[in-house]
Chain A
Amino acid sequence: MAERLLVEAVNDALHEEMERDENVLVIGEDVGRAGGVFRATAGLRDRFGADRCVDMPLAEAGILGGAVGLCMAGWRPVCEMQYDAFSYPCLDQLINHVGRYRWRTRGAMSFPLVVRMPYGGGVRAPELHDDSPETYYVHAPGVKVAIPATPADAKGLLAAAIRDADPVVILEPKLLYRTSRGEVPDGEHVVPLGSARVAREGTDVTLVAYGAMVPLAERAAEALEGEASCEVLDLRTLKPLDEEALLASVRKTGKAVIVQEAPRTLGFAAEVAAVLAEKAILDLHGPVLRVTGYDVPYPYWQLEDLYMPSVDRVADAVRRLLSF
């Protein structure tokens, strides 16, 4: 066990998995010489060579489309998209091909590629360095999506993604890259996709969160101590969703507040609320509430604290729910 920052845990996973499987390639913009703009791929080019940690032309659809072809040639590419909002050109390939190609070949070919990118706000960055695009990725059939909230999970989920037979998108909360430090197992560490984690036990309300909203929910739970016992459920994987863990927690608490920083409409919180409506209606003792970003463009950073879910907004939702 070593204490690592979340971004260091990502780097650790890449080193481990490239060592373990010589078919793993890391490709992306500035991932080689620079080691990535967040340093997530630092050291890989020196260790594994310029043919396995590859600086690519600045073209996101070309990177992901190229990765489809690399899979056909037997590689397992890990594609870095430099930022959340810069990833949108790759959605063309993701939606049209990455998620469909296996089905088209009747399962004869698999596309074991990974797309990983920093996502989310709160880092005082210029416009379009702050988006939470998970809905677009989750909505594409044939693709799995995971979002770590801790350094250990950042390593373990990425390792699972790289080993998975299916395409996996990993969104890494950039706010936590260098603000989240924690114990990370040395050597091989795999966190299976599709399993949620109870980040904090509680009995009165379940706070459902993922990514950077997990530590926020934990802070809200602390702030509410004495008023309400909050359970914090870290989903870790959005698709496939660990419904059992979600339903088990809500069965216990009877109340749910879902926290996401993406805009509200059709955000992942809506999916969680729908699952609860379908499968937990008799366990619920109040409405399912959402605390989300607003249905507006992500603002310039002097306004971003107003946009982002806050401890106060989460606490307010919990209090409304308790008094229902």
Chain B
Amino acid sequence: MTELAAESPLLRVIGDDATPDGATDLTDAALLALHRSLLLLRTYDERSVVYHRQGRIGTYAISWGHEAIQAGAVHALEERDWIFPSYRESAVGLLRGIPPATVLSWWRGHPSGWWNPAQYGVASICVPIATQVPHAAGFAWGCRLREDDRVALVFFGDGATSEGAFHEGANLAAVKKAPLVLLCNNNQWAISTPLAEQSAAATLADKAAGYGMPGVRVDGTDALAVHDAVREAAAQARAGEGPTFVEAVTYRAAPHATADDPSAYVDPDRVEEARRDECLGRLEGYLQRRGLLNEKLAQSVRAEALDLMRQGIAAAEAEPPADPALLFEHALGDPPASFAHDLAELRRIQGG
């Protein structure tokens, strides 16, 4: 972090050996709720890697170390605001009430991994990089046109800022003064491509100027700083001031996904440093210094999250095999005759 911090200061609240803790106006209850969310996301991620190794879910995109960005942002929004996740934020819906079984089913490739975005204010997990940015811009603009004061927040990574879809979405949001928060998880790696080969900009937040929107940089391992930056950006958006680009700077201390072996390209010392400074430990340290958290409480929150995951994977595994009709159902509101024919033929061949 130090070399980046030298370029441009990062917003920080949580202190370290050299810096005292800054101020937050979050209540004790809100701080503990935020901690519970970080821990849930961490537990989800660590368990998912295990489930993958056990062959219980498919390829999984790891989000270890990014919990401060995800939970910090979600806690800064109102319930009615919408979130547009990429696959890196696959579990962010847990913070909005999506059952763990649903998200685990998504990683199991089972259609019970579907959800209704309108029910949770969480769009479907977006796989193709940056293509969710125009969706979020269009949604936010569409809300503004209806004089509905909802805000949209879109997650994407540093690599996504190279995509045309990022540019087109950011520009659209700025031109239409869409109430959007563009939250870039700059973990400095797009699979194996380092940031320096992704962008020649001094910082990603500098890109915001080109769209005529504010750009802020925040320490992505500091949940309180992310929370403050997103809350401020959301307030601006809701007030009709348009979008803000928030660059949350962190370091990817885990593989991109379960199919990735980063030993070929990362510096293990740098990973070790990032793991030492990881976001959950930083928040827990802060809460302990405030006297809000002790090991007993942390244990009980951890046990609760583990229990949720155990129930989640059990429920996902208890799902019956998907009915072949689900191949066709819902593809179109008004399905063509060929669907019924194809399904009947498939059932006949399957002997069903």
Which residues does A use to contact B, with CB under 8 Å?
Answer: 25, 51, 56-57, 59, 61-62, 64-75, 89, 92-93, 96-97, 101-110, 141-142, 144, 164-166, 194, 239-240
Contact with A along B141-180 (1 / 0, CB 8 A): 1110110100010000000000011011101100100000
Select one of A67, A101, A109, A164 contacting B118, CB under 8 A: A109
Asked if A102 contacts B141 (CB within 8 A), the reply is no
Asked if B115 contacts A105 (CB within 8 A), the reply is yes
Asked if B146 contacts A65 (CB within 8 A), the reply is no
Question: In the complex, which residues of chain B have a beta carbon less than 8 angstroms from the beta carbon of A97?
Answer: 131, 135
Which of B1-9, B216-224, B334-342 contacts the other chain? B334-342
Which of B123, B135, B136, B165 has the most chain A CB atoms closer than 10 A to its own CB?
B135
Contact with A along B319-352 (1 / 0, CB 8 A): 0000000000111111011100000000000000
Main secondary structure of the interface of B (DSSP, over half): helix
Asked if A66 contacts B141 (CB within 8 A), the reply is yes
Asked if B115 contacts A93 (CB within 8 A), the reply is no
Nearest neighbor of B168 in chain A, beta-carbon distance: A62
Asked if B117 contacts A72 (CB within 8 A), the reply is yes
Select one of B119, B123, B171 contacting A57, CB under 8 A: B171
Nearest neighbor of B327 in chain A, beta-carbon distance: A103
Asked if A66 contacts B116 (CB within 8 A), the reply is no
Q: How many contacts between A and B, using CB within 8 angstroms?
A: 142
Which of B127, B140, B148, B336 has the most chain A CB atoms closer than 10 A to its own CB?
B336
Select one of A57, A72, A92, A144 contacting B128, CB under 8 A: A92
CA distance A70 to B152 in the complex (A): 12
Contact with A along B77-117 (1 / 0, CB 8 A): 00000100000000000000000000000000001001111
Contacts A66-B134, A67-B138, A74-B142 given; does A106 touch B330 at CB 8 Å: yes
Further 8 A-B residue pairs, CB within 8 A, beyond A61-B165, A73-B139, A103-B331: A51-B145, A65-B135, A65-B138, A66-B134, A66-B141, A75-B145, A104-B124, A108-B118
B208 at interface by CB-CB < 8 Å: no
Asked if B123 contacts A72 (CB within 8 A), the reply is yes
CA distance A166 to B330 in the complex (A): 10
B68 at interface by CB-CB < 8 Å: no
Contacts A92-B128, A92-B165 given; does A164 touch B329 at CB 8 Å: no
Question: In the complex, which residues of chain B have a beta carbon less than 8 angstroms from the beta carbon of A142?
Answer: 331-332
Select one of A65, A102, A144 contacting B133, CB under 8 A: A65
Asked if B172 contacts A59 (CB within 8 A), the reply is yes
Contacts A62-B134, A70-B141 given; does A105 touch B128 at CB 8 Å: no
10 sample A-B contacts, Cβ–Cβ < 8 Å, listed by A number = A59-B171, A59-B172, A61-B165, A65-B169, A68-B134, A97-B135, A105-B114, A106-B330, A108-B119, A141-B331
B14 at interface by CB-CB < 8 Å: no
Asked if B330 contacts A107 (CB within 8 A), the reply is yes
Question: In the complex, which residues of chain B have a beta carbon less than 8 angstroms from the beta carbon of A61?
Answer: 131, 134, 164-165, 168
B39 at interface by CB-CB < 8 Å: no
Asked if A69 contacts B164 (CB within 8 A), the reply is no
Asked if B116 contacts A105 (CB within 8 A), the reply is yes
CA distance A142 to B82 in the complex (A): 25
CA distance A92 to B330 in the complex (A): 21
Question: In the complex, which residues of chain B have a beta carbon less than 8 angstroms from the beta carbon of A89?
Answer: 164
Q: Chain B's nearest CB lies how many Å from the CB of A242? A: 10
Q: Chain B's nearest CB lies how many Å from the CB of A196? A: 14
CA distance A65 to B141 in the complex (A): 12
Q: Chain A's nearest CB lies how many Å from the CB of B135? A: 4
